């Protein structure tokens, strides 16, 4: 099983950190799984213009192909203007409408205010469901105040929630793969 993490921030490192931590938790739960982290700031994903995927640059094709080949995804977004980041929405726009069918997705987000913790449920979940993903019921929002100067998180409760999310994604995906 391969679980791919997507960090949807081009600016800071908080989103990348939490996606990495959920991937790490998944790997600890099942050392046999393969994980890969795609930090979108490392890739030049072009804006969707309606052309077929093969017309875009190599980075765009690589990121989309990696998502399509994954069994499960951990998708992280910084909250921007009470929604997901534009770069993440643009990436999701590249996927075919059935692109996430059979894949389990876990959502994580970072933000400056707890008032926006439901953005994952109200904005991201609906897009992922449209793309036919099986979206885990739990998700983790991390307020900026929980990151230390090195952008690390030590709060035990948050770390436990990463582990629970990883466990949920793995068990749903294992169930799907056993059934098919």
- Where on the chain is the footprint of ligand FMN (CB under 6 A)? 9, 11-15, 78-82, 110-113, 116, 144
C-alpha 136/C-alpha 168 separation (Å) is 7
Q: Which residue is nearest to ligand FMN (CB)?
A: 12
133: helix, strand or coil: coil
Q: Supply the minimum distance, in Å, between the C-beta of residue 125 and ligand FMN.
A: 17
58 vs 154, beta carbon nearer ligand FMN: 154
49 vs 81, beta carbon nearer ligand FMN: 81
16 vs 172, beta carbon nearer ligand FMN: 16
26 vs 142, beta carbon nearer ligand FMN: 142
Using the Cα atoms of residue 81, residue 127, residue 133 and residue 94 in order, give the sign of their dihedral: negative
C-alpha separations of 124 from 40, 92, 175 in Å? 17, 10, 23
Q: Supply the minimum distance, in Å, between the C-beta of residue 111 and ligand FMN.
A: 3
C-alpha separations of 140 from 8, 12, 27, 98, 118 in Å? 15, 18, 18, 25, 10
Q: Supply the minimum distance, in Å, between the C-beta of residue 85 and ligand FMN.
A: 8
Q: Supply the minimum distance, in Å, between the C-beta of residue 153 and ligand FMN.
A: 11
104 vs 110, beta carbon nearer ligand FMN: 110
Residue/partner pairs of 63-66 with CB below 8 Å, 24 or more apart? 63/38, 63/91, 63/94, 64/91, 64/94, 64/95, 66/4, 66/36, 66/38
Q: Supply the minimum distance, in Å, between the C-beta of residue 177 and ligand FMN.
A: 31
């Amino acid at each position: 099983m391969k679980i791919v993490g997507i960090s949807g921030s081009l600016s800071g490192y908080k989103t990348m950190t939490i996606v990495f931590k959920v991937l790490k938790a998944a790997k600890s739960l099942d050392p046999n799984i393969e994980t890969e982290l795609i930090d979108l700031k490392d890739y030049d994903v072009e804006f969707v213009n309606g052309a077929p995927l093969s017309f875009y640059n190599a980075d765009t094709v690589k990121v989309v192909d990696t998502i399509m080949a994954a069994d499960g995804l951990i998708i992280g977004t910084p909250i921007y203007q009470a929604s997901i980041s534009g770069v993440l929405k643009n990436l999701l726009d590249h996927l075919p409408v059935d692109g996430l069918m059979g894949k389990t997705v876990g959502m994580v987000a970072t933000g400056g205010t707890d008032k926006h913790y439901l953005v994952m449920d109200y904005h991201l979940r609906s897009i992922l469901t449209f793309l036919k993903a099986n979206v885990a019921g739990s998700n983790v929002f991390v307020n900026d105040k929980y990151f230390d100067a090195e952008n690390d998180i030590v709060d035990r409760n948050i770390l436990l929630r990463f582990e629970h999310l990883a466990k949920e994604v793995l068990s749903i995906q294992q169930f799907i793969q056993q059934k098919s």
